[in-house]
Amino acid sequence: MLVEGLQMNAKRIPRKQLAAAWKTLSQKPLPKVKALKVSDDDFNHVLEHRRCLEDDFREIEEWGRVLSTKGTDACVFNGEENADADYIIIVRENPYHSLDEIIVHELSHIARGDL
């Protein structure tokens, strides 16, 4: 699968699981979200590729410091114009938190409009 211009193996996280988490955050309809689980190496590669000043500011606001990629379970970003989703969530294969916690956290960024 092509993610952020990088070819990688990815396992899709079911939309049903995303919808259940979304219902805990918002009464609005679930936007077009694609959530993928990728290897830790591919995840780190995506984070390095996507690193930007806005992410650093958001991490400082949210966590009080810029986080190392080793402590990051997932990231969410706007879908590309040719993607079949408005938002894409990438989750590392071996996260530090439960998948349900991660999905709620990443969807909360979408619900709050922080992207």
In order, the DSSP letters of 68-110 are PGGG--EEEEEPPTTSS-SEEEEEESS-SS-HHHHHHHHHHHH
Backbone angles phi, psi at 103, to 5 degrees: -60, -45
High-pLDDT (> 90) share of the chain, %? 49
Q: Is residue 112 assigned to a domain?
A: no
Check residue 53 and give its pLDDT: 60
Total domains present in the chain: 1
For residue 6, what is the enclosing H or E element? strand 6-7
Q: Please name which of 50, 38, 37, 100 lies closest in space to residue 80, comparing C-alpha atoms.
A: 50
The confidence band for 51, taking pLDDT boundaries of 50, 70 and 90, is low
Q: Where is average pLDDT lowest: 11-15, 29-33, 66-70, 77-81?
A: 66-70
Q: Is residue 33 assigned to a domain?
A: yes
Contact indicator for 13, 37 with CB cutoff of 8 Å? yes
Q: Is residue 110 assigned to a domain?
A: no
Q: Is residue 30 assigned to a domain?
A: yes
Q: Is residue 114 assigned to a domain?
A: no
Average pLDDT across the chain, whole number:
86
Check residue 115 and give its pLDDT: 75
For 18-44, how does the pLDDT look when each residue is reduced to its tens digit (9 = 90+)? 999 999 999 999 999 999 999 999 888
Calpha distance 112→8 (Å, rounded): 29
Give the structural domain span for 39.
Answer: 2-96
Q: Is residue 108 assigned to a domain?
A: no
